[in-house]
Amino acid sequence: MKNLSEKISNKIGNLILDKKGTNIKILDVRELTSLTEFFIVCTSDSSPKTRAITEYIKDELKKNKLIPWHIEGLESMEWVLLDYVNIVINIFNQDTREYYNIERLWSDAKITEISD
């Protein structure tokens, strides 16, 4: 049975897909860290798309009274992080994603790919 964070993570993955984010992965890190339950990672190919994905997630989750605890990266748009405490969303441009390679850092996580 999926818990609430897992259901919301899947919803976020589909929201990213709606706005044409690519290479979407949900990393279940519940067994690996107490920092959060899920990391969501995706790639955006432009700053306007990154902003659109970010705003869409915020607007859609706000309808369910979910507000990010913290947001980083809106100035440069190379890596935007939306922290919802139990779920942390990372929206990368291609070069930054390759450089930080979050999936490698959390390679022991259960990884779910979201695609259409």
**pLDDT range class, residue 116, cuts 50, 70, 90:** confident
Taking the C-alpha atoms of residue 21 and residue 91, their distance in angstroms, rounded to an integer, is 8
pLDDT of residue 1: 60
pLDDT of residue 2: 74
How many CB atoms are closer than 10 A to CB 92? 24
What is the reported pTM?
A: 0.95
pLDDT digits (tens, 9 = 90+) for 2-60: 799 999 999 999 999 999 999 999 999 999 999 999 999 999 999 999 999 999 999 99
Hey, what are 59's tokens? 């607007």
Question: Between the CA of residue 54 and those of 1, 34, 42, what are the distances in Å?
Answer: 28, 25, 11
pLDDT digits (tens, 9 = 90+) for 94-106: 999 999 999 999 9
Lateral strand order in the sheet of 70-72:
70-72, 79-83, 87-92, 38-43, 22-28, 110-114
